[in-house]
Structure 1
Amino acid sequence: MKYDRIPSKLFIANRSKFIQDMQPNSLAVFNSNDIYPISADSTMPFQQHRDIFYLSGVDQEESILVLFPDAKDEKHREVLFLRETNEHIAVWEGEKLTKEAAFEVSGIKTVYWLSQFDTIFKTLMAEAESIYLNTNEHLRANTEVQTREDRFIESCKEKYPAHIYRKSAPIMHKIRSVKERTELELMLHACSITEKGIRRILPFIKPGVYEYEIEAELIHEFVRNRSRGFAYTPIIASGKNACVLHYIDNNNICNDGDVILLDVGAEYANYASDLSRSFPVNGRYTQRQKEVYNAVLRVKKFAETLLVPGTVLAEYHKEVGLFMEKELIQLGLIDQTDVKNQNPDWPAYKKYFMHGTSHYIGLDTHDVGPWNEPMKAGMVFTCEPGIYIQEEGLGIRIEDDLVVQETGAPVNLMATIPIEADEIEDLMNS
């Protein structure tokens, strides 16, 4: 791995939190992701399933974690199963975790090779009354592809039909949403890499540069700082492209007079950062562009004041929408008649600000977390209002990542990344 080893105490603490919410005499199973094929012998780069990583720190394919806190044999209360390594694998694929190395990473003492899983699991299931299965219950999940976890769930239910089956997702969503100090440090590091990328491209952006050239500059800076690369598919959208919310072609030329919207972020140690900035291609905003930019920035600053314990996301988004409504009226984009005649299910402001303001972020860019419960200290949210004016070919989005505090304002993990319009212009023209 490119990143420095994470202290095993993080994963020990995470397992302890999960176990506290388990029912008596239950075990839980977490599988790694597959390496997904493209065609012939080509594959996509491996990325670990975030849940097994969160609980063990194991960042390797063909791995299984079993938690059984009430197991009669103490050594079977936390068990890792790993693909057995050998000299051939070391030569062709590189070093894999040994049992000793797996303990150093995870703090789990009992490590078996994967070939032993069926036999040992059968013994554990004979003791257990129920089993937690790790289904993907993220609200935005696309579940068309069958995963290694899915195959295990099918097999388990077929072999052990008499057990009680429970869901690990509600527990994982709760505990993953509140970050430990070590996690916040990793996320801050990911944000610092993103800042390096932004400061690299500010003097690079000029009329005539292609969007993909900016993407290339960013990936260079991210990887040279020990990131795997982008935490998600980057959006580098100049001119009218910025009005396409998920524009990812990044293949157009940046023209004089346009604003370029960047929604990019580096990952570090599987933790994501998520940044949006909107820069003038020629280094100077027009008066209209600056008006719209500053309106978005005011909405963002207002929204940040609501990221405090006790806030419920559904109400938060409504309040931000009402503030945005006032800004759009001042910009002449909507008027009081539009507001009076609006559909309550799709308010007038949605014509120019059609997405939400915040989402959880952590191991996933759109991280898991409870959507209908009050915010808690230690939760991390994006804050990303935007205004998209198709008739003007102008899209502005501004986004940072913020940590909810026990009291007071949230901590901005991206506070040192340029955000004020005047500062951006100065940096682009220095």
Structure 2
Amino acid sequence: MTTKYEQISSSLFVKNRKKFTEKMQSKSLAIFNSNDIYPVSSDSTMPFAQHRDIFYLSGVDQEESILLIFPDAYKEEHREILFLRETNEHIAIWEGEKLTKEKATEVSGVKSVFWLSDFDRIFYNLMNEAENIYLNRNEHYRAVLEVQTREDRFIERVKREFPLHKILRSNPILQHLRSVKEPEEIALMQIACNITEKGIRRLLSFIKPGVWEYEIEAELIHEFIKNRSKGFAYTPIIASGNNANVLHYIANNMQCKDGDLILLDVGAEYANYSSDLTRTIPVNGKFTERQKQIYNAVLDMKNFATSLLVPGNNWYDYHKECGDFYTSKFLELGLLDKADVQNEDKNWPAYKKYMMHGTSHHMGLDTHDYGILSDKFVENMVFTVEPGIYLPAEGFGIRIEDDMVIQNSGPAFNLMKNIPIEVEEIEELMNA
């Protein structure tokens, strides 16, 4: 066992590779590289996190691994190949267990496994057979590309050594494939959500006036790791009082005061799959009437948005419909008046004063997962639903968020349906 999580059936990765190869042009091979281990300083490094694309296609969760896919290769053993870092006694003593060839086949379903020392020879020979090569780069619409990756270096190498081959892009294929989850993937996401639930229930009996935000973070990481998670799926937001009005507040270093609300945007990962939850709860276990009014308004917004997560809708139309509902809700609350709406900038509608971020994003192996925004919603896409109302003048902000699976018919399925969300339920658990 080289991972905390229980081994995933290789049938998932066999299925994922089949879907990818069906989208490839003929006479093409595709290469996928693991992430680097990134340095901090001296001999310190960040913990290794596998590139989600090679994990999606192989299940291999180890550095310096390469997956080669070449459906039209003359020899059957060259149609799928894994290349791994060769393990030895020294590595076993200093770093621990690494994948053997046999274990790599068991994990991935790939029968041909070679050590990295064989890569150059085999790759060169197969490129002589191929006309095209699929290369992989991060093309997510939120990506910030400042650090050169192992994939980037490989792209440079291919352009230099094989200038006459046609280069194709893997990412558009993966954007479509990864946006629709297999049942096994949804089951893994459910485990991540269940671990998050355990963390939240732990907090409801822990939080009280005087605790510090970082103490809350510590309670969560304890519960997550205890349940075979590597930890947080993303940097946790634990924002008490006015900190909740900073959308990406991550300092988590303030003391929680009596009468304040605390916004918890936290989620566990499991087997590289993410969960993404937000709850807003009273530090002293009791909402004020004003806090309750705004909280229930956000809950109404969330329930309305969830009702639109149906096949055939799309991300752009969905957010427009959500915005129209939020506008009506803010008029009802007196946060906006008719003149605000009549004079609004269509590129930044009036409701954005109090709800300035999007309502949903794709979820999966990445917290902000792959997905083409213009694609129509289909069954087994997974989205967050996370509206909020932010009131700096009143010293609090409220956001509520769950992870929803689109169904072929009927309402979306809530992976977080067992996590307390109603005012009365939260108060009861906090005062038990």
TM range (shorter): over 0.9
Q: What do residues 139-180 of structure 1 show as CA deviations (whole Å, max 9, x unaligned)?
A: 111110000000000011100000001000010011101111
Q: 1:355 matched to which residue of 2? A: 357
Q: 1:95 matched to which residue of 2? A: 97
Q: 1:289 matched to which residue of 2? A: 291
Q: 1:272 matched to which residue of 2? A: 274
Q: 1:261 matched to which residue of 2? A: 263
SS in 1 for 2:294: helix
Alignment of 1:353-392 (within 5 A): 353-392=355-394
Q: 1:325 matched to which residue of 2? A: 327
Q: 2:348 matched to which residue of 1? A: 346
- How far the C-alpha of 1:415 sits from its partner, in A, is 0.2
1:106 pairs with 2:116: no
Q: Residues of 2 paired with 1:286 and 1:328: CA distance?
A: 19
Q: Residues of 1 paired with 2:161 and 2:395: CA distance?
A: 58
- Partner amino acid, structure 1, of 2:237: I
- How far the C-alpha of 1:393 sits from its partner, in A, is 1.1
Q: 2:203 matched to which residue of 1? A: 201
Alignment of 1:238-253 (within 5 A): 238-253=240-255
Q: What do residues 252-271 of structure 1 show as CA deviations (whole Å, max 9, x unaligned)?
A: 01011100000000000000
- How far the C-alpha of 1:332 sits from its partner, in A, is 1.5
Q: Residues of 2 paired with 1:61 and 1:199: CA distance?
A: 35
**What are the ranges of 5 or more consecutive residues in structure 2 without an aligned counterpart?**
none
SS in 2 for 1:401: strand
Q: What do residues 76-107 of structure 1 show as CA deviations (whole Å, max 9, x unaligned)?
A: 00000000001110000001000000000000
Normalising by structure 1, we get a TM-score of 1.00
Q: 1:171 matched to which residue of 2? A: 173
Q: Residues of 2 paired with 1:267 and 1:387: CA distance?
A: 27
Q: Residues of 2 paired with 1:262 and 1:332: CA distance?
A: 26
Q: Residues of 2 paired with 1:190 and 1:302: CA distance?
A: 25
Q: 2:70 matched to which residue of 1? A: 68
Q: What do residues 289-314 of structure 1 show as CA deviations (whole Å, max 9, x unaligned)?
A: 00000000000001111101001110
Q: 1:23 matched to which residue of 2? A: 25
Q: Residues of 2 paired with 1:84 and 1:358: CA distance?
A: 42
Q: 1:226 matched to which residue of 2? A: 228
- How far the C-alpha of 1:133 sits from its partner, in A, is 0.5
Residues matched between the structures, number: 430
Q: Residues of 2 paired with 1:181 and 1:373: CA distance?
A: 20
Q: CA RMSD in A?
A: 0.5
1:189 pairs with 2:191: yes
Q: Residues of 2 paired with 1:413 and 1:9: CA distance?
A: 23
Q: 1:156 matched to which residue of 2? A: 158
Pick the aligned partner of 2:126 from 114, 124, 127.
Answer: 124
Q: Residues of 2 paired with 1:331 and 1:245: CA distance?
A: 22
Q: What do residues 197-232 of structure 1 show as CA deviations (whole Å, max 9, x unaligned)?
A: 000000111110000000000000000000000000
- How far the C-alpha of 1:379 sits from its partner, in A, is 0.4
Q: Residues of 2 paired with 1:174 and 1:140: CA distance?
A: 16
SS in 2 for 1:183: helix
- How far the C-alpha of 1:333 sits from its partner, in A, is 1.1
Q: Residues of 2 paired with 1:69 and 1:183: CA distance?
A: 25
Q: Residues of 1 paired with 2:137 and 2:4: CA distance?
A: 29
Q: Residues of 2 paired with 1:421 and 1:323: CA distance?
A: 22
- Partner amino acid, structure 2, of 1:84: E
Q: What do residues 366-412 of structure 1 show as CA deviations (whole Å, max 9, x unaligned)?
A: 00011001101010000000000111111000000000011110100
- Partner amino acid, structure 1, of 2:94: W
Q: What do residues 21-71 of structure 1 show as CA deviations (whole Å, max 9, x unaligned)?
A: 000010000000000000000000000000000000000000000000000
- How far the C-alpha of 1:329 sits from its partner, in A, is 1.4
- How far the C-alpha of 1:184 sits from its partner, in A, is 0.5
* Displacement over 4 Å in runs of 4+: none
SS in 2 for 1:124: helix
Q: Percent identity?
A: 67
Q: 2:422 matched to which residue of 1? A: 420
Q: Residues of 2 paired with 1:73 and 1:222: CA distance?
A: 45
- How far the C-alpha of 1:328 sits from its partner, in A, is 1.2
- Partner amino acid, structure 1, of 2:164: A
Q: Residues of 1 paired with 2:52 and 2:118: CA distance?
A: 24
- How far the C-alpha of 1:3 sits from its partner, in A, is 0.2
Q: What do residues 341-379 of structure 1 show as CA deviations (whole Å, max 9, x unaligned)?
A: 111110000000000000000000000011001101010
**What are the ranges of 5 or more consecutive residues in structure 1 without an aligned counterpart?**
none
Normalising by structure 2, we get a TM-score of 0.99
